[in-house]
Amino acid sequence: MNNKHTYKFLMLLGFCLCFALGSSQNNKQKELETRRQELRREIQKINELRLENKSKEKSQLSLIEDFNYKINVLNNLIKVTNQQANLITREINSNQKQITKLRAELKQLKEDYAAMLVKSYKSKNQQSRIMFLLSSNDFKQAYKRLQYIKQYGDHQKQQGETIKGKTAELQNINANLLKQKEDKQKLITENKVTQKSLETERKQHEVLMKSIKNNINLYTSQINKRQREANRIDAEIDKIIKAAIAKSNKKAGKSSSSKTFALTPAGKALAKDFESNKGKLSWPVEKGIVKVRYGTQPHPINRSLTIKSNGVRIATEKNAKVRSIFNGEVIDVVRMKNVNPIVIIRHGNYITYYKNLSKVYVKEGDKVVTKQEIGEVYTNKINGETILSFSISKESNTQNPASWIYKMY
């Protein structure tokens, strides 16, 4: 590869790298903006739910959950906004470097063009083009001189167009730079507002925590009672699932001691379809925010205590309808003493659970489809909270709903 080709290759490679980097930064900025808007909508939902329940007397435990959740969302919003501002700063720096480079190129182009015009003018004074052609020794030389005059003129025109293009490019980058600076300032201003909101929430949280610490034993007792109740419900559900697994194996003529469902071809296809939609499944309510997440976690009031959550607790609006997240079959509607109804739906060897319902629209054996309404979430008359407890499992093994439901962060 000669020097000319090497130079062209390096120029092309540099252009491709710059384009890829610019495209990557642009995609990242879009992702961050999407996430920022989602967090802002989530904060709006929190405020709407708070306003809806303002007249109700909430328990200290519920209030702490509310504060913790909003503080977490506000922190995430600040983090994402900072990432956006930092990315814009990098883009601004990159554009400023590009502007400096373009200005230098433009200056050199203009100098070359000016020198070319001077040379052309002098050439015209010393010898006219006609004389330049007529002084040729033969026709071949005259033809070459004619080509030279044409090429020189074309080159002048091309230089003029290049200068025009570089000038337009410089103006465009300058305009983008101003827009980026405005966008960055908006993000900074917005972050200051979010910071103030966060400080307010934290102060209220601290005041509430101080009052709670004076009666920590009472609250610890309430926490343990709530966990025991959750464990009792989970144990009952586990029995129902194991019985359903045994029933499916008995029907298929297999060992009843098996811990997995004996799936029919239709059941296998449904399970495969369910798996292929991981991360894209619909929410069990149309509007909601996750107040308690999946897994074992320290309790927000007493950090020495751990709470085990086999699913998520979703705060939603009053009279919210519960929807099946996927096609399936109702295998049970659980009604326990002092417990609101629970609907259990099977999707091949996957199970979804919808707890704390006030109304149930389906019965055991019913076939359901995605987003079909299966009931209504119970609203606590004392504190005004409307909370759906939702879980997913594969056989008896619980899954994190956030991994399955669309944008359940």
Segment 351-373, tens digit of pLDDT: 999 999 999 999 999 999 999 99
Lowest mean pLDDT among 50-64, 166-180, 395-409: 50-64
| Domain ranges (residues) in the chain | 3-213, 226-403
Q: Please tell me the predicted confidence (pLDDT) of residue 12.
A: 53
Q: Please tell me the predicted confidence (pLDDT) of residue 142.
A: 59
> Residues with Cβ < 8 Å from 323, sequence gap 6 or more?
282, 283, 284, 285, 286, 371, 372, 373, 374
* CATH fold for the domain made of 226-403: Glucose Permease (Domain IIA) (2.70.70)
Percent of the chain whose pLDDT exceeds 90:
30
Backbone angles phi, psi at 198, to 5 degrees: -65, -45
Task: Check pLDDT > 80 for residue 233.
Answer: yes
Task: Check pLDDT > 70 for residue 175.
Answer: yes
Q: Tell me the per-residue pLDDT of 185-229, one tens digit each, with 9 for 90 and over.
A: 888 888 888 888 888 888 888 888 877 777 777 778 877 888 888
Q: pLDDT grade, residue 62 (50/70/90)?
A: confident
How many CB atoms lie under 10 A from the CB of residue 101? 11
Q: pLDDT grade, residue 126 (50/70/90)?
A: very low
Lowest mean pLDDT among 175-184, 220-229, 285-294: 175-184
Q: Please tell me the predicted confidence (pLDDT) of residue 4.
A: 46
Residue 394's beta-bridge partner residues? 350, 397
DSSP codes, 36-86: HHHHHHHHHHHHHHHHHTTTS---HHHHHHHHHHHHHHHHHHHHHHHHHHH
Rounded mean pLDDT of the chain? Answer: 80
Q: Rounded to whole angstroms, how far apart are CA atoms 42 and 160?
A: 54
Helices of type H across 214-310: 216-251, 265-276
Residue 352's beta-bridge partner residues? 345, 392
Task: Check pLDDT > 70 for residue 162.
Answer: no
**Contact present, 227 and 349 (Cβ < 8 Å):** no
Per-residue pLDDT averaged across 170-184, rounded? 76
Task: Check pLDDT > 50 for residue 118.
Answer: yes
Q: pLDDT grade, residue 335 (50/70/90)?
A: very high
